[in-house]
Amino acid sequence: MKPERDSVDLIREKGFIGQEFLTWLYYRYDSQGEVIRLEDGTHTEVIFEQFMTLEGGDGDAQETVTCRGPRAELHEAKSALQTGKKVSKARIRLSNGDLQWKFTMDAATLDMSSLKVPKTVSAGDEEADDLSFEGRVLERAYMLEQAVDAVNALFKTFLAIRLDTNRWTVEKRGIREWIFKDA
């Protein structure tokens, strides 16, 4: 009987895919604009907001760069990418139609934290009187589910490119050119 792998070991071994995903998403956002075409033909708007962490290296040689500030000041992120670092955490605003979410994504686990969902009917609104507490909770749960679905659609688009050797070769070339464009 094989012992189960420790989840920390799995994160260390497979965490690179989350870093590649966030780095790719930042590339698409910064080089091609906020609207990202998804694999299913729909579009989602992605904006990186005022916070990003990039990491590179292993063990004792691991280095971390944290960038904070308006979009224009994220030029430090480009410098970090030029030294081989990848995005490990980022604050993202995601819009899909009239819905908009803000969250911080951790590349190692693809966890979303500090998730702000679109404003729904609040307790002070006239409409809220007609909705039960349970109805408002269900509406909020639906908004959370929509956020997860939107991120999953982005990740699915990334994986479709990443797992296709030809498409990934072209995409990597574009990423390299983008990283070193202003170097």
Question: Is 133 or 20 the better-scoring residue by pLDDT?
Answer: 20
Q: How many helices (H) and strands (E) does the chain have?
A: 6, 6
Region 56-66: what's the mean pLDDT? 81
pLDDT of amino acid 138: 83
Q: Are 135 and 127 in contact (CB under 8 A)?
A: no
Looking at the predicted structure, is the pLDDT value of residue 92 above 80?
yes
Region 160-176: what's the mean pLDDT? 96
Q: Which domain, by its residues, includes 142?
A: 7-180
Residue 2 belongs to a domain: no
pLDDT digits (tens, 9 = 90+) for 147-165: 999 999 999 999 999 999 9
What are the b/e assignments for 113-122, b being 16+ CB within 10 Å?
Answer: eeeebbeeee
Residue 1 belongs to a domain: no
For helices 165-180 and 75-82, angle between their N-to-C axes, nearest 10 degrees: 120
Looking at the predicted structure, is the pLDDT value of residue 102 above 90?
yes
Residue 69 belongs to a domain: yes
The Cα–Cα gap between 1 and 92 comes to 43
pTM: 0.84
Looking at the predicted structure, is the pLDDT value of residue 129 above 80?
no
The structural domain count of the chain equals 1
